[in-house]
A and B are shown apart, each in its own frame.
Chain A
Amino acid sequence: MREPLILGLETSCDETAAAVVAGGRTILSNVIATQVPIHQKYGGVVPEIASRHHVELVNEVVAQALQEANCTFADLAAIAVTHGPGLVGALLVGVNTAKTLAYALGKPLVAVNHVLAHVAANFLVHEVIFPAVCLVASGGHTSLLYMTSRNHATLLGATRDDAAGEAFDKVARVLGLGYPGGPAVDKAAEQGDPTAFDFPRAFSGQNDSFEFSFSGLKSSVINTLHNMKQKGEEPNSADVAASFQQAVVDVLVEKTRLAATVKDAKTVLLAGGVAANRLLRQQLETKLRDDGRQLLCPPPVLCTDNAAMVAAAGWDLYVDQKFAGLDLNATPVLDTVWQSK
C-alpha cells in the first residue's frame, strides 16, 4: 500500500513553495517558485511584493506539486502549512490556502513551526539517531535545539539580537556585495584572508552559555570599515568578508560542539539557509569528527526555505493526530513553541 501523502505549503518569507511527501520521508515533488530575482534589486525581501507574489503563485505552485507527484487532491492524507514565525502577510497566504484546501477536501490540517520544519529537512535524507543537537541558522533564526525524538525539541539557546543570516545580509550590504548576503559573502571570502581582521566572537569561551550575538560583530565590521576610510585606506572586501565569515563560523562551531558534548548527542544536525555555507559545513564536520560525532545536514536545496521540509515536519503531527482547527492564524512570533503539541 502506498504511504500516506502530505501536501506541504511554505510562504513564511520570500519563497512560495509546495511539496508532496509520502510517509514523512519520500519526496514526490518539491516546487519552489523563488522570488529572489525580484528582491535582488531591492537589497532584501520586500514584504508587500512578497505577499502579492505569494497570492499570484500559490495555486500554480500547488497544482505543479500535485502534477509532479502524479497525484490528485483526493489522494492526500493531510495538508501541512507553516504558520509562523515569519512575515504576517506572507504567512497568511499559505495559512488561508491550506485552510481552504482542508475545508473543501475534508482533509486534516496540521500547523508547522518554520524552525522545526528546517530541522525536519534532515529527516528527508537521513536516518537520525536521537538524542540529537540541532543548529538552525537562517536569515531570521539562530537557535540550538536538543531533540529526543523527531517531534520533541527543547531550546538550548538562541541569538540575543541579530540572526546569523541577517548578519551576513547586512555585512554584504555594507561591503556592496549584493543580496542574498550569504552566498555573496561566501564567494567573496574565497579570495580573502580569514585572519586579516580579528572580529569579536560573542560568548566565546563561556562554557555555560548556548546563546549567540551577532550584533556586536556587525558593528565591529562597520566600525573597521569606517575607521579605515577615515584614514584614507581602502579596505580589502575579500579580507573583510573572509574574516567576518570566520568569526561567525567559529562561534557557531564552538557552541554546537559544546552542546553536543554537554548533551552527549548521538548525532548533530545542521539546518536553515546558513547551513549551505561551505566553511561552516567543513569546519563543523571536522571538529565533530575529532569528537567522534557525525554531522548530518540536508543538501542545499533543502536548507533554504522549501515545502518538503514542512510536509516532513507535518508528518509527525499527522501521525500523532495533532490537527489544527480551521481557526488557525498566522503567528509572526513563535518563540516558545518548540514542542509539537
Chain B
Amino acid sequence: MEQIIETVHEGETEALGQTVGRLLFPGAIILLDGDLGAGKTVFARGVGRGLDVLAPITSPTFTLLNAHQGRVPFYHFDLYRLEHEEELFELGIEECLDGDGVSLVEWASKFPSYFTWPALTVTIRSRGDTTRQLELYAESKHYVQILQALIMGR
C-alpha cells in the first residue's frame, strides 16, 4: 500500500512525522530516504515527538545513532557516512531493529539488501524550495494498518 502526501513547509513535514510517531508500535521500523536537505531529520524529529521524546532531536550524521527515551526507546540512525554493509554490524543496528524500541533509519536505501525487515518506507522528494512530497509505502499488515489509520485521521 502506498500513500503520497504533500507538505508545503517544514512544520507540516514535522507534524506528519508526529502523527506517524503516535501510531507506531514497540519494535516498529521506519526506513527514511531523500536527498540532502529534503527534510529527513525534520520528519524524524516529528516521529520522536509522536513517541513523546522530550529531548532535542538533532542530526545523527556525526554520531550515526542518537538514542532517545520516549514512551518507548527511539533509535535514530543516519547512514549518510557509511560506505560498506559490514559497518552496519559495528553500529549494533541489528540489536535495535530486533528490539522493542522504534528504529528510524535515514539513508537506508544505501543498503537495500540489508534491510529485509518489515518496515514503513518513507521517501521525501523536494518539489520546490519548501514543498515536499512524502511517499509512504508498506507491505506487511501492521504497517498497512498504520497507513490506513493515517489516512482516516487526515
- A residues within 8 Å of B by Cβ? 13, 42, 44-48, 51, 85-89, 139-140, 158-163, 165-166, 170, 173-174, 215-216, 218-223, 226, 332-333, 335
Contacts and interface: CB of A to CB of B under 8 A. Distances in A.
User: Looking at chain B's contact residues, is the secondary structure mostly helix, strand, loop, or mixed?
Assistant: loop
B81 A47 contact: yes
A46 B82 contact: yes
A162 B56 CA distance: 12
A325 to B, nearest CB: 22
Contacts, number: 89
B86 A332 contact: no
A67 B44 CA distance: 48
A162 B63 contact: no
Contacts of A89: 90-91
Interface in B26-74: 35-37, 39, 41-42, 45, 55-56, 58-59, 61-68
10 contacts: A47-B64, A47-B81, A47-B87, A48-B86, A85-B63, A139-B62, A170-B61, A219-B39, A332-B66, A332-B67
B37 A46 contact: no
Nearest to A215: B41
Contacts of A216: 10
B151 to A, nearest CB: 28
Contact of A219 (B37, B86, B92): B37
Given A85-B63, A140-B63, A222-B37, A47 B58 contact: no
A335 B84 CA distance: 29
Contacts of B83: 42, 46
B58 A46 contact: no
A159 B58 contact: yes
Interface residues of B, number: 32
A173 B45 CA distance: 24
Given A47-B87, A47-B91, A48-B87, A161 B63 contact: no
B37 A335 contact: no
Contact of A46 (B10, B61, B87): B87
Contacts of B62: 13, 45, 139-140, 163, 165-166
A181 to B, nearest CB: 12
Contacts of B114: none
Contacts of A47: 64, 81-82, 87, 90-91
Contacts of A86: 63
A164 B35 CA distance: 19
Considering the complex of A and B, which 10 residue pairs feature the smallest CB-CB distances, nearest first?
Answer: A140-B62, A219-B37, A48-B87, A44-B81, A222-B37, A162-B59, A89-B90, A48-B90, A223-B129, A139-B62
A216 B82 CA distance: 23
B80 A223 contact: no
A42 B82 CA distance: 9
A332 B65 contact: yes
Given A46-B83, A222-B36, A88 B92 contact: yes
B63 A332 contact: yes
